[in-house]
């Protein structure tokens, strides 16, 4: 870019549509540092679980995609493994000043904030607090929780103001169309999962109050396990599908990074489910009942929808979008 400002000639290179403006580089670098730090903490817990468990690294590698091979002693689970990878990829994009990193980082930040707030609610329980003092790993678990909160606050406070002027909404009809398709796919998936959740909560003998409390209160499980609870991941997925789906229907360009992070993690988890259904031979039995057929249909749709969102979001690169 060459332009005159009075008598001075500005020959600084234009950052380009795919890169953040130089004034935001500090925010991107800060985000890259903190996300890498938390990903390293999750990796350390994973390595500790492998060392303390009976499984070998090969068994753990198989367990990444085969739930039946996962060592029972792991202190973090597939949800954390998926997000650890997302944190590292987002950190790399942020270090490279890619605009896509902003939406991805904000999604990661809000996710960590939700985890931290859930743990803060659990910390109001005296018995749960005592576990941090008595458990041999309590201090490290607490330090990880505090680190998650620090990372969430750091990422959100640095990246929220780092918006590019005039670049909030998708400008081209192709980008708006792709965004709305992603939004529709997410909303349908969210409604399907919400229907299954309501069905499960309506089952006789189901403690609905405890289930809902388990989604927002870390003390319900009664352990310091860092793996996310089923209640949190299920309702969190429904909420994320709804929020991201509505925003995507509004064709927000800065949402592309968030779509990639969420869809990639969900795709990984769905692939694990498909592998488990395969190794347990559930495929051959699923269509024996209407409920089984609906379950299989939901899983198949989730696999197709998340794959489509990832491909469509990344497809904006080839169509002249702002790149990852």
Cα-Cα-Cα-Cα torsion 193, 197, 202, 203, nearest 10 degrees, comes to: 100
DSSP assignments along 43-98, one per residue: HHHHHHHHHHSSS-HHHHHHHTT-GGGS-TT-SS-HHHHHHHHHHHHHHHHHHTTB
Domain that holds residue 211: 23-161+170-318
147 part of a folded domain = yes
List 9's β-bridge partners, or say none: 4
2 part of a folded domain = no
pLDDT of residue 10: 42
Residues 6 or more apart whose Cβ sits within 8 Å of residue 67: 78, 272, 273, 275, 276
How many independent structural domains does the chain possess? Answer: 1
List 10's β-bridge partners, or say none: 3
Q: Per residue in 144-156, pLDDT tens? A: 999 999 999 999 9
pTM: 0.89
pLDDT of residue 169: 46
Q: What is the mean pLDDT of residues 62-73?
A: 75
213 part of a folded domain = yes
312 part of a folded domain = yes
292 part of a folded domain = yes
CA 46, CA 40: separation in Å to the nearest integer? 10
Residue 42 has pLDDT above 80, yes or no: yes
Tokens at residue 169, please?
Answer: 């909404």
The sign one gets for the Cα dihedral 282, 288, 293, 294 is negative
97 part of a folded domain = yes
Helix 256-279 and helix 100-122, axial crossing angle in degrees, nearest 10: 60
**Reported confidence tier of residue 85, pLDDT bands at 50, 70, 90:** very high
3 part of a folded domain = no
Question: What's the mean per-residue pLDDT of the chain?
Answer: 86
**Reported confidence tier of residue 16, pLDDT bands at 50, 70, 90:** low
4 part of a folded domain = no
């Amino acid at each position: 870019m060459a332009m005159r400002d009075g008598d001075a000639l500005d020959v600084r290179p234009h950052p380009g549509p795919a890169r953040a403006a130089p004034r935001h580089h500090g925010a991107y670098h800060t985000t890259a540092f903190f996300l890498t730090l938390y990903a390293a903490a999750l990796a350390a817990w994973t390595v500790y679980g492998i060392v303390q468990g009976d499984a070998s690294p090969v068994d753990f590698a198989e367990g990444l995609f085969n739930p039946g091979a996962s060592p029972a002693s792991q202190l973090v689970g597939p949800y954390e493994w998926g997000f650890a990878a997302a944190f590292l990829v987002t950190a790399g994009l942020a270090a490279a000043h890619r605009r896509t990193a902003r939406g991805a980082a904000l999604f990661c930040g809000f996710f960590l904030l939700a985890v931290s707030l859930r743990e803060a609610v659990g910390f109001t329980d005296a018995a749960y607090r005592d576990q941090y003092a008595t458990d041999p790993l309590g201090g490290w678990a607490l330090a990880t929780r505090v680190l998650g909160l620090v990372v969430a606050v750091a990422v959100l406070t640095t990246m929220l103001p780092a918006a590019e002027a005039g670049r909030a909404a998708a400008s081209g009809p192709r980008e708006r169309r792709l965004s709305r398709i992603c939004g529709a796919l997410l909303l349908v998936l969210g409604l399907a999962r919400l229907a299954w959740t309501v069905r499960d909560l309506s089952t006789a003998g189901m403690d609905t109050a405890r289930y809902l409390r388990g989604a927002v209160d870390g003390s319900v499980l009664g352990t310091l396990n860092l793996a996310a609870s089923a209640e949190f991941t299920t309702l969190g997925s429904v909420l994320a599908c709804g929020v991201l789906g509505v925003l995507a229907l509004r064709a927000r360009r800065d949402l592309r990074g968030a779509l990639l992070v969420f869809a990639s993690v969900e795709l990984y988890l769905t692939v694990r489910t498909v592998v488990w259904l395969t190794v347990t031979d559930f495929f051959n039995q699923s269509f024996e009942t209407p409920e089984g057929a609906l379950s299989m249909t939901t899983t198949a749709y989730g696999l197709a929808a998340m794959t489509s969102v990832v491909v469509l979001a990344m497809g904006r690169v080839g169509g002249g979008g702002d790149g990852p």
